[in-house]
Amino acid sequence: MNRTDPTRAIRAIVTGSAGGIGSAIARGLAAHAQWLILVGRNEDALRALQRSLGANTHVVAGDLTQAATLDAIVQLARSLGGLNLLVNNAGVCDFHAFETQDPVAIRSLVDTNLVAPMLLSRAVLPLLQAAAPSQIINVGSLFGFIGYPGFSAYGASKAGLRAFTQALRRELADTGVDARHFVPRATRTGINSERVVALNRDLRTVEDSPEMVASQFQHFLAGRHWETKIGAKETFFAFVNSLLPAMPDRAIRAQLPVIRKHMPK
């Protein structure tokens, strides 16, 4: 895990481990881990993953937006001797027209995708500092770079996560704790509703498997960049969006009939 000492054993928390990307990341880390803490809401899925990974894995089942879940994670990590890697991967999505989107869903997106990783990072920061050099890796989204119809609230939460990561990285620059940002593109996981799957199919959006994303995560973990995006085309589009947003404006406007066909009203 550590870029100055590749043989150092990983002691990691992986949130969202019950889902596709999280479970694949956990599987990739397990071979190099002293221990893993698997976090998610689906205890049955977490226990199944735990059984497949072996005795060096532990489970915390709960809602990351609840203080009791954060406390349980911190207490377990402390009892295991501290940690050197936090992977904030848990997230939710709600593809919907913003004007009719349920306020409860909007709040859930922000709380789960942004506030929860911020509070968990804060809670375990003393443990990460004690084990430095160590890392916080926040799993973002291309929609945090490219505002996209139907994903206004989701994109806002992911853009906030990127800003948080960058600011925290700079704040911790002299501590030995490195905050980093890993950005998958569209991935075949349960986070996508049937409408999103159909939209991706109609737009011919490239979708990765969770295993491919986890493989890219391993390369990122061992590397030096503070941020990486998966996909050359997607990375270029995000770059153009930052410099010449009128060009993506036109391209996305042309897609609106297809997007609206699938977007819940």
Q: What is the 3-state secondary structure (H, E, C) of the chain?
A: CCCCCCCCCEEEEEECCCCHHHHHHHHHHHCCEEEEEEEECCHHHHHHHHHHHCCCEEEEECCCCCHHHHHHHHHHHHHCCCCCEEEECCCCCCCCCHHHCCHHHHHHHHHHHHHHHHHHHHHHHHHHHHCCCEEEEEECCHHHCCCCCCCHHHHHHHHHHHHHHHHHHHHCCCCCEEEEEEECCCECCCCCCHHHHHHHHHHCCCCECHHHHHHHHHHHHHCCCCEEECCHHHHHHHHHHHHCCHHHHHHHHHHHHHHHHHCCC
Catalytic status, residue 148: no
Among 154, 164, 217, 220, which one carries the catalytic annotation? 154
Q: Are 16 and 90 in contact (CB under 8 A)?
A: yes
- Phi, psi for 183 (deg, rounded to 5): -125, 100
Active-site residue list: 154
